[in-house]
A and B are shown apart, each in its own frame.
Chain A
Amino acid sequence: MSDVLLQVRDLHVSYGSIHAIKGISFDVRRNEIVSLIGANGAGKTTTLRAISGLAGFKGSIRLDNHDLSQIPPDKRVKLGLAQSPEGRGVFPQMSVLENLEMGAYSRSDRDGIEKDLRRCYEMFPRLKERRSQMAGTLSGGEQQMLAISRALMSRPKLLLLDEPSLGLAPLIVAQIFEIIKQVHSEGMTILLVEQNARMALKAADRAYVLETGKIVLDGRGQDLLDNDEVRRSYLGI
């Protein structure tokens, strides 16, 4: 079992004539939190879309030593990939419980699913209270919790989080990051995409800085927090 869970090499993604990702390479090792930070339009979401199979790409993406290039999105879940997408992507007209059940769609072990549901409700009592409420009526923070728990319901090896702090009040953002740390402490490997550089760098073991489709910096989260360039461009200091 190799140490590297996700290996991305020379990744290119284009939307028609727009070259959004211009040859980036990075790794996520087991049990790490790796952050990918960058401004609007840097290509963070596009990178995740390539990983989860919603965007075609050139180059190589390997998950747990499987080459993902020919694998359709639904099969990647079985290989251990799960994502909380940008804007949460909860199914608005399905109940909280049904959203969570959709997270377990690729599984058929009823007992295991039941157990994970109970664990999820323990972790998020708020979701338990609202389990029969339509997901579209939840608050932004609750929807984010739901999106993360839904992703966890597939028992992934790698959790992709796309801007979990987007549009949330600072207090809620802090809560969400607590949750991320807790999930990580239970052994989950996480690739975190964020515009909120401060939070993302603090939480990360390692981080990459993405600028218009290229990685311009990488290093330990703490080191990047101290980096002058990062402080000027992303932390506003």
Chain B
Amino acid sequence: MQDFLQHVINGLSLGSIYALIALGYTMVYGILQMINFAHSDVYMVGAFASYYAAKWLGIENQPGLMTLATLLVVSMLVCSLLGLTIERLAYRPLRKAPKLNILITAIGVSLFLEYTGQIVFGADPKVFPEVVNDMVLADFGRLQLKSSDITVLIVSLISMVALQFLIHRTKVGRAMRAVSQNAAVAAMLGVNTDRIIAFTFVVGSSLAGVGSVLVGMKYPKIEPLMGMMIGLKAFVAAVLGGIGNITGAVLGGLIMGLSEEMVVAYLSSTYRDALAFGLLILILLFRPAGLLGRYQMEKV
């Protein structure tokens, strides 16, 4: 039983990281109906930004709340700027182009970031700075609450609550939902849709920035291709929840994290990555709109 609970905690912690990244995919999809393949590489750049910032500030061996906060801010800022730049330079000029062109461009941007990353950061893995003191907060024999897992859960929870507040309780959040439901009408009502789309990239990218620090803390090896697998899983999580749906992305991320942990614990770690593809095939077969996928109601 305690073993099981331990796996649940690990799974939730992994799942909330998937959820943070899945949110970026789902928000951009909701507003532009495109899959931003470069999202996972924005996440990777966030991890390196934290790595270099910690080095530069000399805090790579000073774990603690201060370091956590600093790295979160740096990573969120860098990711936002990168997301904003990608949107402005690569996607906005193609706003009226066929969807396929934008999709191919997104793949191009992703490859560009991955290879530029290998040139600039080097292909060899780097060790992520120590973010929080690694310790056991509570010990129940075979059930341990580790500081890193608790940090992941708390930081993700705060991010998601903040996102929920932004989207449902602020004017800009209302405009984001309006643009995703009917961009032409939103523009007609006075919304500068380009600006709202740019803002959506900022929000999605900064969540990826949060995710990169949390991953760096739990699995402190970073390298320029680190975004590929986690990006894929987060994407599957978004599809599983119903792409375009915010709650769905969180749900999908948690299911993804939990089932991965359980598969590794009770079956075999060989299936760790196969699970994502298996889930993807199952969703596409049985529920292509995802768990919370919305079937638009429209009146003529």
> Which residues of A are interface residues toward B (Cβ below 8 A)?
52-54, 72-74, 77-78, 82-83, 85, 87-89, 91-94, 98, 101-103, 105-106, 136-140, 143, 150, 154, 166-167
In the complex the two chains form, is A105's CB within 8 Å of B177's CB?
no
In the complex the two chains form, is A87's CB within 8 Å of B300's CB?
yes
For A166, list chain B residues within 8 Å (CB). Answer: 300
Q: List 15 A-B contacts (CB under 8 A).
A: A54-B184, A73-B188, A74-B187, A74-B191, A77-B190, A85-B188, A89-B182, A91-B186, A92-B298, A94-B181, A102-B175, A102-B178, A136-B298, A154-B189, A167-B299
Please name the 7 residue pairs, one residue from A and one from B, whose CB atoms are nearest each other, closest first: A106-B190, A77-B190, A89-B185, A73-B187, A136-B297, A91-B181, A74-B192
Number of B interface residues in the complex (CB < 8 A): 23
For B298, list chain A residues within 8 Å (CB). Answer: 92, 136
For A93, list chain B residues within 8 Å (CB). Answer: 177, 181, 294
For B189, list chain A residues within 8 Å (CB). Answer: 77, 82, 102-103, 105-106, 150, 154
Name A101's contact: one of B174, B184, B296 (CB within 8 Å): B174
> Which residues of B are interface residues toward A (Cβ below 8 A)?
171, 174-175, 177-178, 181-182, 184-193, 294, 296-300
Assembly CA distance A91 to B299 (angstroms) = 11
For B187, list chain A residues within 8 Å (CB). Answer: 53-54, 73-74
On whether A92 and B188 interact (CB within 8 A), knowing A87-B300, A137-B297, A167-B300, the answer reads: no
In the complex the two chains form, is B185's CB within 8 Å of A91's CB?
yes
> How far, in Å, is A90 (CB) from chain B's closest CB?
8
In the complex the two chains form, is B178's CB within 8 Å of A94's CB?
yes
Residue of B nearest to A81 (CB): B188
For B191, list chain A residues within 8 Å (CB). Answer: 74, 102, 105
For B174, list chain A residues within 8 Å (CB). Answer: 94, 98, 101-102
For A91, list chain B residues within 8 Å (CB). Answer: 177-178, 181-182, 185-186
Name B188's contact: one of A83, A87, A98 (CB within 8 Å): A83
In the complex the two chains form, is B190's CB within 8 Å of A154's CB?
yes
Assembly CA distance A32 to B186 (angstroms) = 27
For B177, list chain A residues within 8 Å (CB). Answer: 91, 93-94
For A102, list chain B residues within 8 Å (CB). Answer: 174-175, 178, 186, 189, 191
> How far, in Å, is A43 (CB) from chain B's closest CB?
18
Assembly CA distance A92 to B297 (angstroms) = 7
In the complex the two chains form, is A88's CB within 8 Å of B182's CB?
no
For A72, list chain B residues within 8 Å (CB). Answer: 192
